[in-house]
Amino acid sequence: MRVVLVTRAGCHLCDEALGLLRELGVEPELADVDADDQLFNLYDWRVPLILVDDAVVAEGKVTRQQLKSLENQSGRGSKPA
């Protein structure tokens, strides 16, 4: 599973999204939207944006609920009884 956090400097929502990902045991690749023309054209006003295997799973104000599937895939989710 490849997780990418599209972010930009000074973005408090990006910092919060990164914190949530790390709490779930996921260390994403970081992609600066302002340093890549293609990312900028696609996602400029949508940051933070989380991509899992190139599919958007969350953007803007990211919540733990949106990331529930990542928690299960990271092995930190609840174990079946």
CATH 3.40.30.10 fits domain 3-72: yes
- Does the structure show a pLDDT above 50 at 81? no
Residue 15, pLDDT > 60, answer yes
CA distances (Å), origin 69, targets 1, 18, 20, 37, 49: 11, 16, 13, 30, 16
What average pLDDT does the chain have?
Answer: 89
Domain ranges of the chain: 3-72
pTM of the model: 0.86
Mention every residue, 6+ apart, whose C-beta is less than 8 A from residue 8: 14, 32, 33, 34, 47
pLDDT at site 72: 67
Enter the tokens of residue 67: 């990331």
The total number of residues shown for the chain amounts to 81
- Quote the pLDDT of residue 69: 75
* pLDDT on residue 76: 56
Residue 28 CA to residue 30 CA, distance in Å, equals: 6
- Identify the residue with better confidence: 20 or 66: 20
pLDDT exceeds 60 at position 20: yes
Contact status, residue 34 vs residue 10, Cβ threshold 8 Å: no
